[in-house]
């Protein structure tokens, strides 16, 4: 299994085979490794009949029997078709090749040290492992994340496999890796849950909202209108309270963006923002209920809840996030460019991007703590002011509770009954406590936060890295560290700002309503092919059920029909779904579960086949039902467009 060669003679041939195989998967890493000059050469030794590498005085494998060590490590991992086996460190490849040969799922090799990776590629022929469809190789954590995201679903998590001695190379680095992977997996899990739970409802909301937002100007129509100005993005973190007076002092010198949860705090102090940003698909209008918003511009998403649009704003503008797949339907129907609209699921990020689009050269974050500060979760006047985070000495854990539970229930939910409000509040507290997380604070200490907030830190950092043509400042000073942002008091950040004389946004943008109606009819017509394939699949299922009753066992004819059914499903779920956004949205949830079941089915017994047929039947039935609903909504909305 392991062919270890000396460095001389055949090393170039082995390295070339490995690089050629890697180039088929990742040409950038292959090129990087090919040109890399090894700066720290591990020592190759042979002990007890096995080769080993000693790197920085540490043997990378068990000195007695490295192959047995690899087999034992892998045997302890769950091994099924949906498994993700993440191998930390290649060494001489004992564990990597064991996983490559035995894994029923996906193998991701992560080797961050190019010295080791290049020497391993020089000594051992991994070419047959590398070219396997289920094998991926990464030298950066970002690439690991890309591969995990590609293979993740809500029912599988990466299984970290490595030798004990390998982890000793840098234990701090390894512990940071584990923490980062937990964050990644948590983030991907949220993405997948969002995909399953939200795609279809968001699609319906977007279609129903069309008569509203055809009269709303896309924000990018005012690109760079505030160039050279200072923008302040206000979130509802605890440190917002400490900065209120400074915001008042410099109000005339800044373009003020406020997120929904912070609006009541701002209004409580008689501050009128330029822009209020809310992007929620749920009805969170209680965040702003009772406020005079007649002098405030509202920024929202096409799919945001209708009730949010019914307040008497000065103007309404749309932020059409390009990473929200449902918005691509509007992009195609309205034939507009949405590339300016960056979003990562948090309204603070969207507000930050709004400030960038409008041209603010200095963007200052206020209340962006992304952590629980001195027991507070939110600003004392915000919609969720009753939440607090305290250390429970009895359980030896941090816990989030509501000081006034009844008030929290009322502020959180618009449900008609008290019972429903309590249920929503209890679930929210349960979810918050289950997602407690710890992040590095500005002062270097580890501070408690919510896993969702922890997941926002990296996107904010990446935003500053990507749009590096302006200055970013974080005024929290006690919250989570966000790299790419200068940490300084708000007073210092705004000291050099000057009065803004003109804030008005004026343009003559109008959607082409007739063209939009025409495209809606085309979109609706394109759904007919999906209906035809659904009916075809339903007929195959009916035939299979009859055959199963007739034959009482699995025979060649049934397997042939099953193959035909799978072909129909693949045509719908893969080929047609790639061409038709609507069909993709309405079937994503069922497809995720069904793909999982199909991967987990190892033997086509009668019980397994009947189970798959039932799930495919549900897939086709729900798809047809939803297609009919969407088709009706499209036609109704088209009639209402004026």
Indicate if the pLDDT at residue 304 is higher than 80: yes
Alpha-carbon distance 480 to 488, whole Å?
13
One domain, residues 435 and 521: no
Indicate if the pLDDT at residue 196 is higher than 70: no
Eight-state DSSP code of residue 441: B
| Domain assignment of residue 160, given as a range | 11-169
Displacement of CA 448 from its chain's centroid (Å): 21
One domain, residues 446 and 525: no
Alpha-carbon distance 321 to 350, whole Å?
8
DSSP H helical segments within 415-450, as ranges?
Answer: 418-434
Alpha-carbon distance 559 to 544, whole Å?
9
pLDDT score, position 176 = 73
Domains of the chain: total:
3
Q: What is the pLDDT of residues 72-91, one digit of tens each?
A: 999 988 888 878 899 999 99
**What is the band of 220 on the pLDDT scale with cuts at 50, 70, 90?**
very high
Q: Which of 476, 447, 448 is nearest to 236 (CA)?
A: 476
Q: Reduced to 3 states, what is the DSSP secondary structure of residue 197? A: helix
One domain, residues 150 and 239: no
Are 561 and 543 spatial neighbours (Cβ–Cβ below 8 Å)?
Answer: yes
Collect all residues with Cβ–Cβ distance below 8 Å to 376 and sequence separation of at least 6. 238, 387, 388, 389
Q: What is the pLDDT of residues 129-174, one digit of tens each?
A: 999 999 999 998 888 888 887 776 655 667 888 888 888 887 777 7
Domain boundary among 446, 461, 494: 494
One domain, residues 141 and 252: no
Among the ranges given (195-204, 466-475, 488-497), the one the predictor scored with the smallest mean pLDDT = 195-204
Does 569 reside within a domain? yes
Alpha-carbon distance 275 to 353, whole Å?
13
Collect all residues with Cβ–Cβ distance below 8 Å to 527 and sequence separation of at least 6. 580, 582, 583, 627, 630, 631
One domain, residues 127 and 215: no
Q: Which residues of 103-116 are buried (b: 16+ CB within 10 A; e: fewer)?
A: bebbbbbbbbbbbb
One domain, residues 96 and 205: no
Q: Reduced to 3 states, what is the DSSP secondary structure of residue 306? A: helix
One domain, residues 474 and 419: yes
Q: What is the pLDDT of residues 273-287, one digit of tens each?
A: 999 999 998 899 989
One domain, residues 406 and 296: yes
One domain, residues 284 and 391: yes
DSSP H helical segments within 6-93, as ranges?
Answer: 11-25, 27-35, 66-75
Are 137 and 25 spatial neighbours (Cβ–Cβ below 8 Å)?
Answer: yes
DSSP H helical segments within 435-507, as ranges?
Answer: 451-466, 490-494
Does 434 reside within a domain? yes
Alpha-carbon distance 197 to 203, whole Å?
11
Does 124 reside within a domain? yes
Domain boundary among 146, 169, 192: 169
Q: What is the pLDDT of residues 41-68, one digit of tens each?
A: 888 999 888 999 998 888 999 989 999 9
pLDDT score, position 157 = 67
Does 180 reside within a domain? no
Among the ranges given (124-133, 404-413, 621-630), the one the predictor scored with the smallest mean pLDDT = 404-413
Does 268 reside within a domain? yes
**Main-chain phi, psi angles of 459, to 5 degrees:** -60, -40
**What is the band of 485 on the pLDDT scale with cuts at 50, 70, 90?**
very high
Does 621 reside within a domain? yes
Does 181 reside within a domain? no
Does 464 reside within a domain? yes
Selected residue with higher pLDDT from 516 and 555: 516
Q: Which residues of 615-629 are buried (b: 16+ CB within 10 A; e: fewer)?
A: ebbebbebbbebbee
Q: Reduced to 3 states, what is the DSSP secondary structure of residue 84? A: strand
Selected residue with higher pLDDT from 321 and 408: 321
One domain, residues 360 and 445: yes
Are 364 and 473 spatial neighbours (Cβ–Cβ below 8 Å)?
Answer: yes
Alpha-carbon distance 27 to 2, whole Å?
25
Which residues does residue 107 pair with via DSSP β-bridges, in sequence order? 85, 135
Domain boundary among 462, 494, 526: 494
DSSP string over 529-579: HHHHHHHHHHHHHHHHHHHHHHHSS--HHHHHHHHHHHHHHHIIIIIIHHH
One domain, residues 421 and 521: no
Alpha-carbon distance 325 to 583, whole Å?
12
Are 318 and 217 spatial neighbours (Cβ–Cβ below 8 Å)?
Answer: yes
One domain, residues 525 and 434: no
């Amino acid at each position: 299994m392991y062919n270890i060669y000396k460095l001389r003679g055949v090393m170039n041939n082995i390295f070339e085979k490995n690089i050629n195989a890697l180039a088929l998967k990742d040409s950038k890493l292959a090129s990087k490794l090919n040109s890399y000059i090894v700066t720290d050469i591990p020592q190759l030794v042979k002990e007890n009949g096995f080769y080993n590498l000693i790197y920085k005085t540490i043997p990378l494998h068990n000195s007695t029997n490295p192959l047995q060590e690899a087999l034992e490590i892998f045997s302890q991992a769950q091994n099924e078709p949906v498994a993700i086996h993440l191998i930390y460190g290649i060494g001489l490849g004992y564990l990597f090749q064991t996983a490559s040969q035995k894994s029923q799922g996906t193998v991701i090799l992560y080797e961050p040290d190019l010295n080791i990776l290049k020497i391993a590629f020089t000594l051992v022929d991994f070419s047959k492992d590398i070219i396997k469809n289920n094998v991926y190789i990464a030298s950066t954590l970002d690439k690991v994340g890309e591969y995990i995201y590609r293979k993740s679903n809500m029912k599988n998590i990466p299984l970290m496999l490595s030798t004990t001695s390998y982890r000793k190379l840098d234990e701090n680095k390894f512990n940071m890796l584990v923490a980062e992977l937990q964050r990644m997996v948590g983030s991907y899990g949220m993405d997948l849950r969002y995909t399953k739970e939200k795609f279809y409802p968001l699609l319906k909301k977007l279609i129903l909202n069309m008569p509203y937002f055809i009269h709303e100007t896309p924000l990018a129509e005012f690109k760079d209108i505030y160039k050279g100005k200072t923008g302040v993005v206000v979130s509802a973190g605890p440190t917002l309270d400490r900065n209120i007076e400074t915001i008042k002092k410099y109000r005339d010198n800044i373009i003020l963006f406020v997120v929904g949860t912070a609006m009541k705090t701002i209004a409580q102090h008689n501050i009128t923002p330029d822009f209020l940003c809310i992007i929620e698909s749920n009805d969170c209008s209680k965040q702003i209920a009772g406020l005079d918003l007649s002098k405030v511009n509202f920024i929202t998403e096409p799919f945001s809840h209708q009730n949010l649009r019914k307040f008497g704003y000065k103007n309404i503008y749309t932020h059409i996030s390009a990473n929200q797949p449902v918005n691509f339907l509007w992009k195609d129907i309205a034939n507009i460019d949405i590339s300016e609209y960056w979003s990562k699921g948090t309204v603070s990020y969207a507000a930050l991007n709004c400030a960038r689009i409008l041209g603010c050269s200095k963007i200052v974050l206020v209340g962006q703590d992304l952590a629980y500060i001195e027991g507070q979760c939110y600003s004392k006047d915000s919609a969720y002011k009753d939440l607090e985070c305290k250390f429970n000495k009895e359980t030896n854990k941090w816990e989030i509770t509501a000081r006034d539970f009844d008030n929290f229930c009322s502020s959180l939910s618009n449900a008609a009954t008290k019972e429903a409000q309590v249920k929503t509040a209890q679930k929210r507290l349960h979810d918050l406590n289950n997602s407690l997380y710890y992040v590095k604070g500005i002062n270097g200490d580890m501070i408690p936060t919510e896993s969702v907030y922890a997941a926002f830190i990296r996107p904010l950092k990446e935003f500053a890295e990507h749009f590096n043509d302006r200055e970013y400042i974080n005024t929290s000073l006690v919250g989570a560290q966000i790299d790419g942002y200068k940490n300084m008091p708000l007073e210092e950040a705004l000291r050099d700002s000057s009065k803004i004389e003109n804030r008005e946004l004026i343009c003559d943008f109008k959607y082409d309503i007739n063209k939009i109606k025409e495209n809606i009819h085309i979109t609706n017509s394109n759904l007919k092919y999906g209906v035809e394939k659904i009916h075809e699949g339903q007929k195959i299922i009916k035939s299979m059920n009859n055959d199963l009753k007739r034959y009482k066992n699995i025979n060649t004819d049934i397997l042939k029909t099953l193959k035909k059914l799978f072909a129909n499903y693949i045509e719908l779920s893969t080929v047609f779904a790639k061409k038709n956004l609507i069909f993709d949205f309405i079937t994503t949830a069922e497809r995720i579960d069904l793909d999982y079941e199909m991967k987990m089915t190892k033997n086509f017994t009668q019980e397994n086949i009947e189970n798959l047929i039932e799930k495919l039947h549900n897939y086709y039935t729900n798809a047809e039902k939803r297609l009919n609903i969407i088709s009706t909504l499209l036609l109704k909305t088209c009639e209402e467009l004026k």
